[in-house]
Amino acid sequence: MTAWRRISCACLLGALLLTLFSGCARKSPSDSRYTEDGRIILRVSMYNSSSYPLWRAYVEEQCPDIFIQWENNRNSAANVLYLAEHGDMPDIVAIRRFESDTAAALRPYLADLSGLPLTATYDAQYLEPFAAGGRQYWLPGPGAFDGIVANTDLFSQYHIDLPTDITTFLDACRQLENRNVAVFAADCAETWTPTQMIEGFGASLLAKEGADWVHRFESGEAESVDSTLFLQIAAIMQQLHENGILTQEDLDSTGTDVNDMMIRGEAAMVRKNSDESFDAASSHHYAALPFFSSGKDNNWLCTYPVFSLAMSNALAGDDRLYAAGEELLTAMLSPEAQAVLNKSGEGLISYNKNVTLPLSASMQNVQREISADRCFIRVLNSNTFRANSLALTALVRDGATGQDFVNILNKNLFLQPDATQIGVSSISAPASLDKSLCSPAASVVAQVIQRETGADCAVIDVREAPNAIYPGSYTQADIDAIVSTSGVYTARLRPDELRQLFSTCVLCSTTFQSGAIEPILEYPAAAGVRVGMHPNGEITDVRVNGRSDDSQDRCLVAISGGIRAALSADGSELTGLFQPEAQNLRELFTAGFQSGGLPQPQQYFTVQ
């Protein structure tokens, strides 16, 4: 097991089994809105299954008259929209990746929060990205800083002052260039980091000269980028590349790569966010830096809410339900609840008036920007991460011009979803785990991947099949909501290696990495194989369908990118055996749906 794993070890399997097997003294939400003891049941769709356990416990304590049914939208507003369009809208929605276009499509399903006393506690500038047409559809939780973090030990070692503006930043980088460290390490292989670079270093322009364009983009009125504005941002990116700050290595680097460099003291500056420890396993000291501009009074922080909350308008038809929804929202976003959220990392920034959250020593260096309200909330639609990644890659790898940069954004940022029918489903498969820890929906996806790759068995993460499958016709947007774009990999494994693979999957589903807010995997799902497991997670038996119990033949195994990431994180020798398929999970599923339809769900785990 690699050294950076398991500063915080959270064994979730026992709790999961207890929830599944013990049963609650309540009725199913489909039967009633109330438990047997009279509490209101509210469905809360969170952006993942496991983050902020202390905050969840605090919220439950503050609302003893409400039974909270926690669900998982996998941080996708499109997943929530998919549910809403199928009459399955949650009562409260929490999204970290807030997308303006998907949020606009969700408005018919959301309540107006403008009149809530809670809404009046916010600074107006921080409500604007989440409002439209005079209605407040979303309220942001406290914001995570996401930007540049400096290793102050290295700066002191080389007698270099921390930069205070773009000029001193570039000068510091030039001084560091000949040292045996990376000047700046950014995990641009992660989908979100190119957006942080573009919007972070462009924040002073976007917040001032670009304020009108940002407003039109957030409201869905913009049909192209502001050419003058984004040519200036392109010039900044080119300057960073020419000075050796944004490199091809950054384009190829993952979060794990950057985290490892940080631990080893091999990078003077890295991209990091304050919702996690800058590094709990390292003996180095750190300081958060703003995104630099011309003069320290023009520097900005790039932030995003740890989640933004909305409430279903279905609650508005019942006074008691609406009051319960308001009670729950207020508990979730109270100053005390924000203080609980703030305990998980280096420190969060409250967007509410008169709420100040404690910051670690590493965050004190950006107190000037926080006090001056120079906290830019990142701007996204459903295409932003991909479009910005393509544009930044073109500048750094291909030497694209500023106009090329603008053209790439215009081509990719405003794409509309394809409404062409892909196929028709005749099955119904929920996404939630059953008492054997099987996800019916994920088993359907895994079966299609097994069929399309010709594998003996297939293993995916259930978060890569995030939603239920309903009967009816499916467009590409629908498929996007039920299958991720994760990569697919295949290898021939011995029986003992296949068993090792499942053991690693269970381990990585029940253990946090150092500084992480959720496990690497949510939970494995499989096709073509039956897996026996004890309640403590120990794998007892792995049988590939159609093979004798004592067969020692190698079998062809297809896995998703999430499973491969788990193998890699655990340092498994199996990682190198898997080779990538030409098509990703969504592409293979789409092709299989079109050509062969969808199979019925299968059981793949037996808990003994």
CA distances 445 to 216, 425, 478, 592, Å, are 38, 13, 14, 10
Q: Are residues 472 and 580 in the same domain?
A: yes
Q: Rounded mean pLDDT of the chain?
A: 91
What is the per-residue pLDDT across 380-410, written as a single tens digit (0 to 9) for each?
999 999 999 999 999 999 999 999 999 999 9
User: Is residue 354 a part of any domain in this protein?
Assistant: no
The answer to whether residue 19 scores a pLDDT higher than 90 is no
Q: How far apart are CA 258 and CA 250, in angstroms?
A: 9
Q: Are residues 133 and 264 in the same domain?
A: no
Name the percent of the chain lying above pLDDT 70: 94
Mean pLDDT computed over 287-304: 95
Number of domains in the chain: 3
pLDDT at 26: 38
Q: How confident is the model at residue 514 (pLDDT cuts 50, 70, 90)?
A: low
The answer to whether residue 12 scores a pLDDT higher than 60 is no
Mean pLDDT computed over 8-23: 39
Name the percent of the chain lying above pLDDT 90: 77
The answer to whether residue 27 scores a pLDDT higher than 50 is no
pLDDT at 585: 97
pLDDT: is 469 or 15 the higher one? 469
Which of 395, 412, 429 finishes a domain? Answer: 412
Q: In CATH, what number is assigned to the domain containing residue 127?
A: 3.40.190.10
**61 burial via Cβ count (<10 Å: 0-12, 13-18, 19+):** exposed
User: Is residue 521 a part of any domain in this protein?
Assistant: yes
What is the per-residue pLDDT across 177-204, written as a single tens digit (0 to 9) for each?
988 889 999 999 999 999 999 999 999 9
pLDDT at 516: 63
Q: In CATH, what number is assigned to the domain containing residue 519?
A: 3.90.780.10
The answer to whether residue 432 scores a pLDDT higher than 90 is no
Q: Are residues 429 and 468 in the same domain?
A: yes
What's the pTM value of the predicted model, to 2 decimals?
0.81
Mean pLDDT computed over 302-313: 97
Residue ranges making up the domain that contains 106: 13-140+307-343
H or E element in which residue 335 lies: helix 335-341
H or E element in which residue 200 lies: helix 193-201
User: Is residue 558 a part of any domain in this protein?
Assistant: yes
433-464 burial: b if 16+ Cβ within 10 Å, else e: beeebbbbbbbbbbbbbbbbbebbbbbbbbbb
User: Is residue 1 a part of any domain in this protein?
Assistant: no
The answer to whether residue 429 scores a pLDDT higher than 90 is yes
Q: Are residues 378 and 467 in the same domain?
A: no
Q: Are residues 282 and 398 in the same domain?
A: yes
Q: Are residues 34 and 88 in the same domain?
A: yes
The answer to whether residue 233 scores a pLDDT higher than 50 is yes
207-226 burial: b if 16+ Cβ within 10 Å, else e: beebeebbeebbeeebeebb
pLDDT at 323: 97
Q: Are residues 231 and 376 in the same domain?
A: yes
The answer to whether residue 13 scores a pLDDT higher than 90 is no
The answer to whether residue 17 scores a pLDDT higher than 50 is no
Q: Are residues 592 and 571 in the same domain?
A: yes
pLDDT at 130: 96
What is the per-residue pLDDT across 75-94, written as a single tens digit (0 to 9) for each?
888 889 999 998 999 999 99
User: Is residue 2 a part of any domain in this protein?
Assistant: no
The answer to whether residue 24 scores a pLDDT higher than 70 is no
